[in-house]
Structure 1
Amino acid sequence: MKVVKELHITTMTNIRIDKLAKKAKESRELALASSTSDQPLLTGTNSTTCRHICFINANLPEELQEDRRWSKQMLPTLLMWAGSFPDPWAIPDLELMTALRIIMTSLVSDFNSHVCPGMPTFMLATWQLGLWHSNFSSTAITLIAHFLASDPDDDAQSATAVRWTCNELIDGLLSFLYQDLDATNLAHAYQSHFILQLFAHAHLWPCIRCPDIPGLGTNAMKKHAVRGVLSLCAAAVHNSLSVIDLQF
């Protein structure tokens, strides 16, 4: 899509876009840093009676810490499964507990630790799913910021041009979903640069070490079960375009 420019162009557009991308990157780095802390994190309200402990990897059962099994095998499998879930925003506790038990007993045959809300394994799994959700948004903002800031003439786009581009992408036929931004070809839905890049970076990369778990059918998931992931990608791109549009 060719973006129409105005005659008077300033550098403010790129500055604003860069700030959005930088803020998204910083929030992601902060979340990752907190996950590697050696001490449990205390969060909650100002009242000390409302504070609760956020578990860290050191609180996991030893079987899951051995050979970094949690990060190398458990989490990739969990995210692969979550991406196949029809509604990845609201996975019922029972479904999550069942999936975690299947994964853990497949990886550790004699695993017998409890998996339920409030326990380290369950709480760290839900935290990781939340981080997975947020990564879609931060990555989408970065991709769109790069798209809007890139220009063959090395000039910054005007605020009007950015608003026009965002509106063109999200209004009406939702062209941001289609290859070459051509919404007339339904066969190319969910094949746009935005969706494919986001799908690769936010989902495929974290799932790259997913082992074969027959109880979950992970091999079939790798080929066909991406309904939840595509919905996350579409929502993240749409919301990111809307947020950037509001900045100008």
Structure 2
Amino acid sequence: MVTKTVPKKIKTETSESLSTLTATSASKGSRVASGSSNQMDTVSVQARFNSADLPSGLHKDQKWRREVVPTLILWAGNQDDAFNITKQDVCHALREIISVVYPTLKNVSSTILPNSPMVAASQRLCDWRHGFASTAVAQLGAFFLNPHDPSPKATAQVLLNHFTFLYEDLDATLPEKAFHSVFMQQLLLGSHLSATKGFVQVSALDTSSLAKHGVVGALGLCGAALMRGLNLIKSGDIELKAPANAKDGIPKLAMRDVRTPVKFNMASGKDSKTACAFSDQNWGTPTRKFTSAAQRRSITQLQDIVELALISLMIGQEPDPNALSNAGSDDEFALICMLVFFY
């Protein structure tokens, strides 16, 4: 049975970085000639950079953190494959962003290469992707705990059927309402839109349009992260148990309570988090399929999704627990927004 109350706000907390940037041959001090595309394609980073490694001019007024990173995330949220954004593309975007944020630093753009400290922004994008997974589990945990669902595994399966969790009012028979669910609204807001706060206008990246409707990659991550979370609940790998909130006595699962489940790895003979990780290997294909479905939306429809997310915390919305679809398909991903061209 689907519970009737969806949490109106998911508590999130800043977590430590979940990613590291590794490589096989390049070192922190290596340099690549800017005119060699072959080197640009193969070079990688051996060391993990942090903000202390950035050129001193980029520390002014904390613009790197407050403006550069949010703008880069805004751009990344509209990429076709969020798990495989190349360092070359990141460098190109950074050059455009930095030329706007730091107009007086004329020579910085030419130093932005895949092995330079500025590529540390790629690590922030990795953290951004992982944030969808942890926030989705926290969000779903709050949904199942408040009020308590006596059969969360069965409810999770109902929400997974025909991707019901994507649709407004949990009605998967209305393709035009895909990506309108409260689950999607809250996750898009909490994991993506909030991370773009402070972005700057960069005409070369058309950030004005991106802010309004450039979210197909972010929607792909939202869909895959929610699907992963529901599968973990259905399988029992996520235990829905959290301490009562001291303020109101209502059980809530915060991001600090979210842990990637550990499973036995047959190949290594050891317990590992790899099998359940939100990674390209495990969730890249569903993410790309959800992204493809989002790309079938019109600009107006994408803009409506963004606007719904922005007001989702101000207007209480409850899905109809009886509005469930019985439709089936050999490739259910293909049904998402399938009728969009007729609207």
Q: Distance in 2 between matches of 1:93 and 1:54?
A: 14
Match of 1:112 among 107, 111, 114: 107
| Higher relative contact order (Cα pairs below 8 Å, separated by 6+ residues) | 1
The structural deviation recorded for 1:63 is: 2.1
Residue type at the aligned position of 1:235? A
Residue type at the aligned position of 1:162? P
Match of 2:218 among 229, 241, 245: 229
Give yes or no for contact 1:105–1:111 (8 Å, CA) kept in 2. yes
Residue type at the aligned position of 2:235? L
1:147 and 2:137 matched? no
SS at 2:47 equivalent: strand
1:123-177 deviation digits (Å, cap 9, x = unpaired): x1110000000000000000100111112xxxx433xx11111111112x11000
Q: Distance in 2 between matches of 1:2 and 1:236?
A: 19
Give yes or no for contact 1:102–1:215 (8 Å, CA) kept in 2. yes
1:157 and 2:149 matched? yes
Residue type at the aligned position of 2:123? W
1:150-229 → structure 2 map (5 Å cutoff): 150-151=146-147, 156-158=148-150, 161-171=151-161, 173-229=162-218
Task: State how many pairs are aligned.
Answer: 208
Give yes or no for contact 1:104–1:111 (8 Å, CA) kept in 2. no
Identity of aligned residues (%): 32
Alignment-derived partner of residue 2 in structure 1:
2
1:125 and 2:121 matched? yes
- CA gap of 1:43–1:174, structure 2 versus 1, over 3 A, is closer
- CA gap of 1:223–1:148, structure 2 versus 1, over 3 A, is same
- CA gap of 1:84–1:43, structure 2 versus 1, over 3 A, is closer
Moved over 6 A (4+): 41-44
Q: Distance in 1 between matches of 2:225 and 2:64?
A: 27
The structural deviation recorded for 1:245 is: 1.3
Q: Distance in 1 between matches of 2:59 and 2:155?
A: 48
1:38-77 deviation digits (Å, cap 9, x = unpaired): xxx9999xxxxxxx53211111112211100100100010
Q: Distance in 1 between matches of 2:121 and 2:16?
A: 18
Q: Distance in 2 between matches of 1:125 and 1:85?
A: 16
Alignment-derived partner of residue 138 in structure 1:
134
TM-score w.r.t. length of structure 1: 0.77
Residue type at the aligned position of 1:54? R
Q: Distance in 2 between matches of 1:223 and 1:43?
A: 34
Give yes or no for contact 1:63–1:111 (8 Å, CA) kept in 2. no
Alignment-derived partner of residue 262 in structure 2:
none
Superposed CA RMSD in Å reads: 2.7
Unaligned runs of 5+ in 1: 5-20, 35-40, 45-51
- CA gap of 1:95–1:31, structure 2 versus 1, over 3 A, is closer
